């Protein structure tokens, strides 16, 4: 097994989730304190393990939905950060 692959998947997923977060919450990100931004990232990190497990399960069961499963995972992680920034 290529041990670099899981790290690459996690990095790409994190980049995608942060991109969604910033694009969805431009105003909130612009005025957020460092602590608020760290809290949003912490919420995303806390959700990462189950989201990645679900992504891997989905792509094993149906490889042809891999890209869609990746995007769904990024959206789910971003939602955790968005909820913190918007204090939902």
pLDDT over 70 (residue 2): no
Check: CB of residue 2 under 8 Å from CB of residue 66: no
Enclosing H/E stretch for 58: helix 34-61
pLDDT over 70 (residue 3): no
1 band by pLDDT with thresholds 50, 70 and 90: very low
Question: Token pair 């989730």 is at which residue?
Answer: 17
Based on the structure, what is the number of domains in the chain? 1
Mean pLDDT of 43-52: 96
User: Among candidates 84, 82, 63, 70, which has minimal Cα distance to 14?
Assistant: 70
88 band by pLDDT with thresholds 50, 70 and 90: low
Residue span of the structural domain in which 22 resides: 4-85
Query: Computed over its alpha carbons, how large is the radius of gyration of the chain?
Result: 14
Check: CB of residue 57 under 8 Å from CB of residue 72: no
Mean pLDDT of 55-76: 95
pTM of the full structure: 0.88
pLDDT over 70 (residue 35): yes
């Amino acid at each position: 097994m290529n041990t670099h692959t899981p790290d690459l998947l996690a990095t790409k997923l994190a980049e995608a989730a942060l991109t969604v977060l910033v694009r969805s919450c431009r105003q909130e990100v612009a005025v957020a304190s460092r602590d608020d931004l760290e809290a949003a990232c912490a919420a995303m990190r806390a959700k990462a393990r189950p989201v990645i497990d679900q992504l891997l399960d989905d792509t094993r069961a149906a490889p042809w939905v891999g890209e869609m499963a990746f995007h769904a995972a990024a959206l789910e992680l971003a939602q955790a950060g968005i909820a913190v920034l918007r204090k939902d």
